[in-house]
Structures are given as structure tokens and as C-alpha cells.
Amino acid sequence: MEALKASGAMDELMEQIDSGQLQIDGKDGFLNQMIKAVLERGLQTELSAELGYEKGDPEGRFAPNSRNGSYPKTVSTTAGDVDLAVPRDRNGSFVPQLVPKGSRRTGGLDEMIISLYASGMTVRDIAHHLESTIGTELSRETISKITDEVLDEVMAWQARPLEPIYPILYLDAIVVKIRDGHQVKNKAAHIAVGVDLEG
């Protein structure tokens, strides 16, 4: 990043953003296109390593396997949906590691969903949040599958032994209406937040 700043490329980029010639986010924004370029370059590098020669290298004519164009794939990232051209080989033996087959999301998006879930957001809230902030539409079923993957860890964390001393405790409650048989009753949902000795 420092080398990029020193080259003056950042100044030119910032001028384009300030003048409105370059959009930062969105489907055709700079971030989306940068992620696309990085992922596609990485996939091409993986294929070159698999085949044993670079694209355009004359030695490739004598290799038992060769490049065979690409296929389109849309992956969801933390910057929105990115349309990729995933390269393939003639033998069909190339298995990309950067964007694995069958994967429709990058790891950062899974981590974001788990973080939002851990902070108390519902599956519906997470779906709405992702669509309104980064333009990624994921079904509630997909989000549920992601959160279910960490459910065992969440349950273990919830059942962990508490510290013997919490110097600060925050206690609160909210009254909610609960249907109990044929009656609706007011019940208090209590929350206790403890701050341990490490803060």
C-alpha cells in the first residue's frame, strides 16, 4: 500500500473518485472490480500451476492437458456479488482452491453472517442487512445453514462456566407478550451482562 501511495497511483484514483468518474461500491464499483480482478488472477495462477506452464507459453502445445476457456460464476462477497470467469482445463481435472467448486460465497461473508448472528440479529434481519448494505441477496435457508454450522460452538459458549468474580454487572429486562395455552401473559425476558477483570 505504501508503494502504491508513493507511486502516485492513489492520487489519480482519488481524483477520479472525487470527480465522480469512478464509483467505489456497487455492482460495477471499484471494490467489486478489484475483488473480481484479484480472484480471477489467482484462479489463472492456480491453473498455470496445475498445468505446469503459463498462458501463451509455446511449451503448452506439447503438454497432455491445456486451457479450455472459462465458465461464468457469481460469488457473494463482503463487497457484493462478483461475476467471475473461472478458467477450466480440457481434462476437467482442475479443482480451484481460491473459489472452490460448489461454493457461492467467499469466507469473509460467512464470518460476517456469523458475527451478525452472534450479535443477536435474526435470520430475516441478516438477510435484509446484507441486501441493503452490500447488495447481496441470500435466502434465509442459506443464512440458517451458515449459522447452524457454528451452533455447537455457540451452545458450548453459552454453557461455559462463569468467572467467579465480575466487578461490573449490567442487569436489564424487557416485558414481552407470550401465549401460554389460551392466554396471553406478560413475561419478563432478563439479560445480565458481566464485565470480567480483564474488561
The span from the CA of 149 to the CA of 96, in Å, is: 23
* pTM for this predicted structure: 0.55
pLDDT of residue 115: 77
For the chain, 199 residues long, give each residue's pLDDT as a single digit of tens: 677 677 777 777 778 778 877 777 767 777 778 888 888 888 888 888 888 888 888 877 888 888 888 999 888 876 778 888 999 998 888 888 777 787 777 766 777 777 787 777 888 888 888 787 766 777 788 788 777 777 777 778 778 888 899 999 999 999 999 988 889 999 999 999 999 888 8
Instruction: Give the CA angle between residues 24, 29, 32 to the nearest 5°.
Output: 105
Contact 76, 30 (CB under 8 A): no
pLDDT of residue 117: 79
pLDDT of residue 146: 76
Please give the backbone phi and psi of residue 4, each rounded to the nearest 5 degrees, phi first: -65, -40
Q: Count helices and strands (H / E) in the chain.
A: 7, 4
Domain range list for the chain = 1-95, 105-160, 163-195
